[in-house]
Amino acid sequence: VYGLLGPGATLETSTLENVRSIILAAQSLLNKLIRSNLVKNTNQVEVLQKDPNSPLYSVRTFEELRLKPQLLQGVYSMGFNRPSKIQETALPMMLAEPPQNLIAQSQSGTGKTAAFVLAMLSHVDPSRKYPQCLCVSPTYELALQTGKVIEQMGQYYSEVKLVYAIRGNKLPRGTKLQEQIVIGTPGTMLDWCGKFKFFDPKKILVFVLDEADVMIDTQGHQDQSIRIQRMLPQSCQMLLFSATFEESVWNFAKRIVPDPNIIKLKREEETLDTIKQYYVLCNSREEKFKALCNIYGAITIAQAMIFCHTRKTAGWLAGELSREGHQVALLSGEMQVEQRAAVIERFREGKEKVLVTTNVCARGIDVEQVSVVINFDLPVDKDGNPDNETYLHRIGRTGRFGKRGLAINMVDSKMSMNILNKIQEHFNKKIERLDTDDLDEIE
Ligand code: ADP
């Protein structure tokens, strides 16, 4: 078994990595499923040009890009009026003649997918009936999502065809693909061009590697991607996208993309400045529930998210709250990603006013309109230490877009008081005690 996992790997580390990559891929998919808008960001795009002396173009409008009319129509039909921040710089680079290589990093929701889809569609020649663009994604589901964007943006450009190189899509031996764009996962893509020769890699004009950070966490994906890349001609445009940029992603990116232009857009910082933070002292889970009911009785809460440590507590609390007459949505770990997306979607539409969830489930998702966040259990890491990052992400708001908010922490033991104190010290922001029998103060 160890031999199969590759040098240096143990079964244990490999399993942990797999779990991590599954979680990352699921988070990424979840974000795509629930996202209907661009994520706002006021930071400056950082640009590192391959040739620092060449002029740097950026565009404020899609018209400036001189797209084919069919594509411009596609862009407008998706409701895009102007390029997003990252697109302003990335699009002219990707559409330049001669083509330039690009590594781009920005958090999910900032318009990367739309950007490279537009670049692929711009570069293909629909009169040539063979693959010209390859796009690799970490999972089957993510590939399908990107495929949908290609289909939407290319809806007025119907000569361009798309095929999925994903598991389960078995083609007869000897097939020669006629589609101009191939999108898939690294393993199947490699088989299709290497082993089965369904298309000629030497004719590829654009190679896109999406979600590089998720990709590198999956055993084998790095190697497979690199092997695909090596079959492509020197003149092929290489594009790599990632939501985060750790050292490992960077090392991988450099192997995939020679002579790159690099653009980065930092995440908008989250702060606690516009948030009123309170804690409530209780003695048990039941008391915490009672305090919660008192809070609901005293103030009008448009929508609240309530975080629990375990699935069991979350399930119990959701049950108790419904019995009290609240419309409650429950987000739980055993749900499929699509089910979770549906729950979040309903909550965002206001169909439910309370969303009860566990820590793990809600990681990485943003529900901006929530004005009240309740930590039924305080966020802790696996060793029981305060998880400051999660605390901030849950209740913090990004700079100028953030509405004012209210955060209430339930404390039910010496240990949790200790955790609360540490969180308070960490952020150097006072968390006030709230007496739930006398709630005049919070409104
Ligand atoms: P990323 O790949 O960085 O996660 P996406 O390309 O998926 O981002 O874009 C996020 C959301 O914003 C999608 O719903 C997409 O349709 C939308 N979007 C992308 N570009 C624009 C734009 N220029 N104007 C308006 N909405 C956009």
Predicted confidence band of residue 3 (pLDDT cuts 50, 70, 90): very low
Q: How far is the CA of 151 from the centre of ligand 1 (A)?
A: 15
Predicted confidence band of residue 400 (pLDDT cuts 50, 70, 90): low
Give 424 or 267, the one with higher predicted confidence: 424
Average pLDDT, integer, range 87-98: 94
Q: Which of 27, 35, 38 has most ligand 1 atoms within 8 Å of its beta carbon, as the pocket-test mutant?
A: 38
Q: How far is the CA of 58 from the centre of ligand 1 (A)?
A: 18
Name the least confident of 18-32, 127-141, 218-232, 283-297. 18-32
pLDDT tens figures, 181-200: 999 999 999 999 999 999 99
pLDDT score of 441 more than 70: no
Average pLDDT of the chain is: 89
Cis peptide before 379 (omega within 30 of 0): no
pLDDT tens figures, 343-391: 888 888 889 989 999 877 666 666 666 788 999 999 998 898 999 988 9
Q: Which of 84, 88, 144, 368 has most ligand 1 atoms within 8 Å of its beta carbon, as the pocket-test mutant?
A: 84
Name the residue at shortest CA distance from atom 19 of ligand 1: 111
Give 141 or 12, the one with higher predicted confidence: 141
Distance CA 77, CA 361 (A): 34
Predicted confidence band of residue 11 (pLDDT cuts 50, 70, 90): very low
Question: Is the Cα dihedral 272, 278, 284, 289 positive or negative?
Answer: negative
pLDDT score of 8 more than 60: no
Predicted confidence band of residue 38 (pLDDT cuts 50, 70, 90): confident
Name the residue at shortest CA distance from atom 25 of ligand 1: 80
Distance CA 152, CA 441 (A): 51
pLDDT tens figures, 250-265: 999 999 999 999 999 9
Contact 317, 293 (CB under 8 A): no
Highest mean pLDDT among 16-20, 80-84, 369-373: 80-84
In Å, the largest CA–CA distance within the chain is 77
Give 365 or 141, the one with higher predicted confidence: 141
Q: Which atom of ligand 1 is the closest one to the Cα of 210?
A: 2
Q: How far is the CA of 32 from the centre of ligand 1 (A)?
A: 10
Q: How far is the CA of 262 from the centre of ligand 1 (A)?
A: 20
ipTM of this complex = 0.99
Average pLDDT, integer, range 268-279: 88
**Which residue, 83, 89, 92, is CA-closest to 47?**
89
Predicted confidence band of residue 405 (pLDDT cuts 50, 70, 90): confident
Contact 259, 223 (CB under 8 A): no
Residue that is written with structure tokens 């199969």 in the block: 4
Q: What is the pTM of this model?
A: 0.85
Percent of the chain exceeding pLDDT 70 equals 91
Average pLDDT, integer, range 25-44: 81
What is 222-267 written as a DSSP string? HHHHHHHHHHS-TTSEEEEEES---HHHHHHHHHH-SS-EEEEEPP
pLDDT score of 91 more than 50: yes
